[in-house]
Structure 1
Amino acid sequence: MLIEIQGSGYNVPFYSDERIFLGEGLFETLRVLDNKPCYSQLHWQRLQRAALFLQLPFELSSSVWYEKLKQCIALNQVQDGGIKVILGAGNAPRGLVATSKKSRLVFTAFNYLTDNTAVKLGSSSWLRDSRNPVYQFKSINYLEAIIARRQAQLNGIDDVLFFNTEQCATDTTTANLFIIKNNQLFTPSLQNGLLPGIIRQRLLSLCQENNIPCFECNLNKTSLSEAEAVFICNALQGIRPVSLIDNTVFKTNHSLIPQLQAILAADQRNSLR
């Protein structure tokens, strides 16, 4: 496996025979706090599982993974921001089923400021197939998300909320979804066809540790309309409240949201090493 760390002002090129141009590749985006990556072990585990499913060579140990993350952060002098890691399938002959014996791992760090303003969501104009395995992984093929986000922009909203063919909510283009009702949390189950987000995973565990009821379930539009509050979450942004889904308005000052933000912030700090 080739490992490349991009420095400020220097970008590593991909070559024309690389499988990445067929959309065959994975990526992880990690939050950087105090020059250190958050949840590095969890991101490594998720990338390892996805690479195994797609049969992409990924022999990096968790300790070497962490050291490469630190090198990239130091090289780019990022105090608080993010780091993106792309696992490309490598060079191979033409053909959809062609494979490469040597994958390519590229690290890029960047500055990033979180935005805590509430977001407005709208239902996507198409439905997803919950059985499609692509939605389980952070694939580099983001064309669907690009189309959806541009559609949202044209409609004067921030992002779209996807639904599957059973009319159950899944996630947005870049974040997982939670709703609050009767001081309980509900989030779409993975069986609905969505990414198992790192922050989603941590919130499920943190709620259990803090005696906050939290359930994975099916959420249809009726379920969403009955929610007292809604928020989305991802590794870079953390927790961000939702003020609108289609024509339904939600309050953004529910007491559980800042409580969860504080619990998550402490957990992120604890993940640094």
Structure 2
Amino acid sequence: MYISLNGTILKSQSAQVSPLSEAFLYGFGLFETIKVVNGKQYFFKEHMKRIKEGCSVLNFELIYNEYILYEYCCKLIEKNQLSNGAIRLSYSKNKDSYILMISSRKNSYNEENYKEGFRLCFADIKRNPHSPIVYLKSNNYLESLLARQNAKKKGFDEAVFLNTYGNICEGTISNIFFVKDNKIFTPDVSCGILAGILREKVLGIIKDRGFESNIGSYEKVQLYDADEVFITNSLMDIMPVCSLGDLKYDIENNTITKTLMKEIKELYNG
């Protein structure tokens, strides 16, 4: 397996990063995960827009332009012969300079996942909507990793954060939507969530299809009362949710989720 380090393609075991860099010591950096389908990168401009916004918050200078970054990603896809999977672009602080590391991997989601749906639970950790970090795709990802590890130990696929006010936030690796009486709901960004690329795509489809959408603050009881629940991220696209704790959802009849899943697939086919 090869990676790209500051634009140079190397075998992954040969790559070296200074242990004194802020990236290593503090997780001081940003990353984006870009879906690759049939060798093509999807929503690259949207990912670059988000990383530029993140650089502004962290007072980073993005020393590579979008076209160079795209070229680096293309070269790595070709070198690793990646047809379907993901590119992970990480941009981190290294004293007076920066580390650009691009890696690739296969997409771990399979047809069985979508058929069975994901099992969710609530995380014990609360999101702080006043922290600027929750709105960034930050390398400092320990909080989410811990919550997801705890969920996995209990037999769940994903954990859902509530914020410090008790409102629904997001998953450790996903944004969350729910359906009640044919109306679609999702937490507002101000609740303390990362504005996912797929979240925005889904909201666009919802608007185009004429579904009623509601973006706001919601309590956990509303998830238990939902007719359908699904989660999104750039690799899974839309994943149906089959359960929340001990509560089961009827994913055989989640017609809105299935409609949106079909629409998302058309983005790749088109």
TM-score, length of structure 1 as denominator length: 0.90
Between 1:142-151 and 1:191-200, the stretch displaced more is 142-151
Q: Distance in 2 between the 1:153 and 1:258 partners?
A: 26
Task: Give ranges in structure 1 of 5+ residues lacking alignment.
Answer: 93-99
Aligned to 1:103: 98
Within 2, Cα distance between the matches of 1:83 and 1:4? Answer: 14
Q: What amino acid is aligned across from residue 20 of structure 1 in structure 2? A: A
CA shift at 1:268, angstroms? 3.5
In the TM superposition, residue 168 of structure 1 has moved relative to its aligned partner by: 0.6
Q: Which has the higher contact order (CA 8 A, sep 6+)?
A: 1
**Structure 1 position 5, deviation (Å):** 5.0
SS at match of 1:203: helix
After superposition, where does 1:1-273 map in structure 2 within 5 Å? 3-4=6-7, 6=9, 9-21=12-24, 22-90=26-94, 92=95, 100=96, 102-115=97-110, 116=114, 117-253=116-252, 254-270=254-270
Change (3 A) 1:74 1:207: same
Alpha-carbon distance change, 10 to 4 in structure 1, aligned in 2, over 3 angstroms: farther
Q: Using the alignment, how far apart are the partners of 1:238 and 1:63 within structure 2?
A: 25
Q: Name the SS of the counterpart of 1:103 in structure 2.
A: strand
Is the CA contact (8 Å cut-off) linking 2:127 and 2:134 kept in structure 1? Answer: no
2:7 partner SS: strand
Q: Distance in 2 between matches of 1:7 and 1:148?
A: 33
Structure 2 distance, partners of 1:186, 1:192, is 13
**Matched residues in 2 for 1:202 and 1:123: separation?**
25
The ranges of structure 1 where at least 4 consecutive aligned residues each deviate by more than 3 angstroms after the TM superposition are 4-11
Q: List per-residue Cα deviations over 1:176-213 (Å, max 9, x = no partner).
A: 00001112211110010011000001111111112122
Q: Distance in 1 between matches of 2:193 and 2:9?
A: 30
Cα distance in structure 1, aligned partners of 2:14 and 2:188: 38
TM-score between the two structures when normalised by the length of structure 2: 0.91
Give the SS at the match of 2:137: coil
| Partner secondary structure for residue 109 of structure 2 | coil
1:11–1:44 distance in 2 versus 1, CA, 3 Å: farther
RMSD, aligned CA: 1.6
- Higher-helix-fraction structure: 2
SS at match of 1:83: strand
1:96-118 deviation digits (Å, cap 9, x = unpaired): xxxx3x21211111222423231
Q: CA deviation at 1:11?
A: 4.8
> Structure 1 residues 109 and 154, CA, compared in 2 at 3 Å: closer, same or farther?
closer
Residue identity opposite 2:99 in structure 1: R
**Per-residue displacement from partner, 1:125-148 (whole Å, max 9, x unpaired)?**
132211111110111112112211
**1: CA distance between counterparts of 2:91 and 2:182?**
40
Number of positions where the alignment pairs a residue of Structure 1 with one of Structure 2 = 260
Is contact 2:178–2:229 with CA below 8 Å preserved after alignment? yes
Query: What one-letter code is carried by the residue in structure 1 that aligns with 2:16?
Result: P
Cα pair 2:128 2:134 within 8 Å, conserved: no
SS of 2:76's equivalent in the other structure is helix
Structure 2: stretches of 5+ with no match in the other structure: none
Q: Distance in 1 between matches of 2:258 and 2:10?
A: 36
